[in-house]
Amino acid sequence: MALKRNVGLRGFKYRGGGPMWAWILHRISGLAIALFVGTHILASFFMQQFANDLATSLNIIYESAYFQIIVFFIVIYHGLNGLRIIILDTWPQLLEYQREVIWLQWLIFIPVYGLTIAVMVLDLFSGG
Amino acid sequence: MSARNATAPQIGFSFEYLMWVFTRVSGVALILLGAFGMAAAFWMGARTQVDVATLMRWTFFPNPNHVVNSDIPDVTLGWANAYWQIMQMLIVCFGVTHGINGLRVVLEDYMGRTWWRPMTRGLLFFIWLFILIVAVYVILAS
């Protein structure tokens, strides 16, 4: 096995800082997108072919604005963090500033996500 | 991955290297395809006709069946043609392969070189194939 010793919750003591949390969030958001998109493809198939009730209600949940608030966070984060990884892999000399790059990534994330959510929530409450 | 037991990846063309390249290429491609789809949706009137969630559904999967609940007047005129079907297939192929490969990487991180590894790869391969076939069927049947 990969790990003979039992790490348990002691793993949380690892103080990797920003890059560690970026990696964890990237992994969790990736798994969430895989789950979401996989279920969504299957639900769309069963909705289209058999007008299945469970599939239709799954798609209605996916389309609701409340669910989209979470999905937008996950997708925009995963995309921006992936771009950061690509850029740092391509120009490794930038790794010297890797912690600053993460702050820059959040500086880009906040307006992109904030504006999207603002438009969506305003739309939701104006009934449009 | 265990630093003690695992053999270091070799330089040159290997499966892991190809998937490493593919992850980056498909990631950039998905962002570009999404940007292109969103621009096209705006051009076809999404700016005044749809909410953000609907716009995203157009952006990533511009399929008339996909936006069936959205009350878009001209949805079948703009999107239901071979060009956008090809765009959808590109997004599906890149997206599903990127996602299944990501699942493989995550799972194999927590797994030694036991018989679980080929079993997982085989299972993920069939899930990959199944999801791709289902998604292409949805595109062509719309």
A12-19: long-range contacts (C-beta < 8 A, 24 or more apart)? Answer: A17/A99, A18/A99, A18/A102, A18/A103, A19/A98, A19/A99, A19/A102
* Residue B72: predicted pLDDT: 56
A53: confidence class by pLDDT, cuts 50, 70, 90: confident
Output the pTM of the full model.
0.82
Q: Which residue has the higher pLDDT, B102 or B85?
A: B102
* pLDDT tens by residue, B119-139: 999 999 999 999 999 988 888
Contact A41 B138 (CB under 8 A): yes
Which one of A3, A27, A79 has the shortest CB-CB distance to B106? Answer: A27
| Domain ranges (residues) in chain A | 32-63, 64-128
A71-75, B7-11, B42-46, B78-82 — which is least confidently predicted? B7-11
* pLDDT tens by residue, A8-34: 666 666 677 778 888 889 999 999 999
The predicted model gives A117-124 an average pLDDT of 83
* Residue B1: predicted pLDDT: 45
Instruction: Name the nearest CA neighbour of B54 among B39, B41, B43, B36.
Output: B41
| Interface test with chain A among B23, B52, B115, B126, by most A beta carbons within 10 Å | B52
User: 3-state SS string over A65-77?
Assistant: HHHHHHHHHHHHH
* Structure ipTM over 0.90, yes or no: no
Query: Residue A107 pLDDT more than 60?
Result: yes
* Residue B67: predicted pLDDT: 52
Chain mean pLDDT for chain A: 84
The predicted model gives B64-88 an average pLDDT of 65
Domains for chain B: give ranges and CATH numbers: 15-141 (1.20.1300)
Residues of chain A with pLDDT > 70: what percent?
87
Contact A30 B102 (CB under 8 A): yes
Q: Which amino acid is at A3?
A: L
Q: Which residues contact A106 (CB under 8 A, 6 or more apart)?
A: none
Chain B positions touching chain A (beta carbons under 8 Å) = 1-2, 5, 24, 27-28, 30-31, 51-54, 56-57, 65-66, 69-70, 92, 95-96, 99-100, 102-103, 106, 109-112, 114, 127, 131, 134-135, 137-138, 141-142
A68-77, B55-64, B94-103 — which is least confidently predicted? B55-64
Tell me how many residue pairs between chain A and chain B have CB atoms under 8 A apart.
83
A119: confidence class by pLDDT, cuts 50, 70, 90: confident
Contact A86 B135 (CB under 8 A): no
Alpha-carbon torsion, ordered A41, A47, A49, A50, to 10 deg: 140
Query: Residue B71 pLDDT more than 60?
Result: no
When computed from its CA atoms, the radius of gyration of chain B, rounded to whole angstroms, is 19
* Residue A6: predicted pLDDT: 62
Closest chain B residue to the Cα of A128, Cα to Cα: B51
DSSP string of B41-61, one letter each residue: HIIIIIHHH--HHHHHHHHH-
* Residue B22: predicted pLDDT: 92
